């Protein structure tokens, strides 16, 4: 009797599929790199910087006619492309991913003192679960612009020797009324204020010029001493509160990875690994790293966000006319600017965009 063909799909665990010692060793090496990536990249700026550094080390440069090309955009986004063995009019493989994640942003005037405790007012970004951010160690990441226009990169709370920050929560016996409330009612976004300090500035008993908010004064003095900034500098600052600490292996066997911001940064990591470590592909490959998901999805520019246009139109070779085509099918002239040796080939290049590598 003739055997029937197997038509059903039978999923198989990666642990079973890649069970050979050589494959397990490669998996462990990949996991170690991913742990380092998650630990190093907690903001979109840090993700873009990591991606640029990673691609530079892999040989990507600024040469328009080279096989490997990368261009950053304002420290938050990035475009990279790799030539394949086939001419560009045969197609291009495009991956698009965003490097942001849910977080708490400090407001422009964040500092306030209540009950002898200085807190920073925040507004949340992304779809956060508010109750998950209470009573847990937080770190501050971001940038500040000083009065002399110098840029200051801030990372405070990641080093074990540094203090961390936190959002206060009610004690269980004081929060009994929360049990009958909706989550949206029990955890209010306006109360997600980060504790910055409790120690007042030193002053004499008869000091007539004592500050009305001594704890806030003490915090400002510490910031001035360490970073040479004042309260006004927060207006133009970009500071984010994120979970403190490194990404870790989870489970007795270390079979899982726990860390902040894996959606959608895991797509960024996978795209970088494929673009830099994989063999030379037949078709050209490109990666667009965005600073935020909403800018990609926001209508009516959903088909082609602003940076995609900038990545092509702003290249310095202005000899040929600009080709404006805000669709997924782009004229070959755009790619000829990056790889001039393909300038004799004509045709349309079909690209496929996805947020999942």
Q: Which structural domains are found in the chain, ordered by start?
A: 17-101+261-352 (no CATH), 103-173+186-246 (2.30.250.10)
- Give the CA dihedral 97, 296, 312, 91, nearest 10 degrees: 60
- Identify the pLDDT of residue 345: 38
Confidence of residue 308 (pLDDT cuts 50, 70, 90): low
Confidence of residue 300 (pLDDT cuts 50, 70, 90): very low
Q: What CA–CA distance (Å, rounded) separates 96 from 102?
A: 19
- Identify the pLDDT of residue 318: 25
Q: What CA–CA distance (Å, rounded) separates 288 from 271?
A: 10
Question: Does the pLDDT at position 194 exceed 60?
Answer: yes
- The CA-based angle 236-50-102, given to 5 degrees, is 55
Least confident segment among 161-175, 245-259, 309-323: 309-323
- pLDDT mean over 183-211: 82
Least confident segment among 136-140, 169-173, 230-234: 169-173
Beta-strand relationship, 329-331 and 248-250 = unpaired
- DSSP per residue, 109-171: EEEEEETTEEEEEEEEESS--GGGGTTS-EEEEEEEE-TTS-EEEEEES-STTS--BB-----
**SS3 state at 309:** helix
For 57-111, what is each residue's pLDDT tens digit? 999 998 776 788 898 888 988 888 888 888 877 877 888 898 999 999 999 999 9
């Amino acid at each position: 009797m003739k055997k029937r063909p197997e038509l059903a799909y039978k999923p198989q665990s990666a642990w079973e599929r890649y069970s050979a010692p050589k494959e397990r060793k490669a998996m462990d090496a990949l996991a170690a790199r991913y742990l380092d990536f998650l630990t190093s990249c907690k903001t979109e700026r840090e993700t873009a910087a990591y991606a640029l550094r990673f691609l530079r080390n892999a040989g990507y440069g600024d040469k328009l006619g080279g096989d490997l090309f990368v261009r950053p955009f304002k420290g938050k986004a990035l475009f990279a492309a790799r030539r394949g063995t086939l001419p560009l009019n045969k197609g291009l493989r495009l991956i698009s991913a965003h490097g942001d994640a849910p977080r708490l942003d400090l407001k422009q005037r964040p500092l306030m003192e209540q009950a002898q405790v200085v807190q920073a007012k925040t507004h949340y970004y992304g779809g956060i679960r508010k109750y998950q951010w209470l009573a847990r160690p937080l770190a501050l990441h971001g940038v500040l612009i000083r009065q002399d226009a110098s840029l200051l990169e801030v990372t405070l709370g990641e080093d074990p020797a540094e203090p961390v920050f936190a959002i206060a929560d009610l004690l269980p016996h004081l929060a009994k009324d929360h049990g009958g409330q909706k989550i949206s009612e029990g955890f209010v976004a306006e109360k997600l204020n980060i504790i910055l300090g409790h120690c007042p500035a030193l002053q004499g008993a008869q000091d007539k010029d004592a500050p009305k908010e001594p704890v806030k004064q003490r915090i400002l003095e510490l910031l001035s001493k360490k970073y040479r900034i004042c309260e006004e500098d927060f207006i133009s600052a970009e500071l984010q509160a994120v979970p403190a600490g490194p990404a870790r292996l989870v489970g007795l066997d270390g079979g899982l990875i726990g860390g902040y911001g894996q959606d959608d940064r895991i797509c960024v990591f996978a795209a970088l690994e494929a673009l830099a470590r994989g063999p030379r592909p037949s078709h050209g490959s490109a990666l667009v790293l965005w600073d935020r998901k909403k800018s990609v999805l926001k209508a009516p520019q959903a088909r082609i966000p602003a940076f995609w246009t900038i990545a092509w139109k702003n290249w310095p070779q202005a000899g040929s006319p600009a080709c404006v085509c805000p669709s997924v099918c782009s004229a070959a002239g755009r790619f000829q600017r990056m790889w001039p040796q393909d300038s004799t080939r004509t045709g349309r290049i079909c690209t496929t965009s996805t947020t999942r590598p």
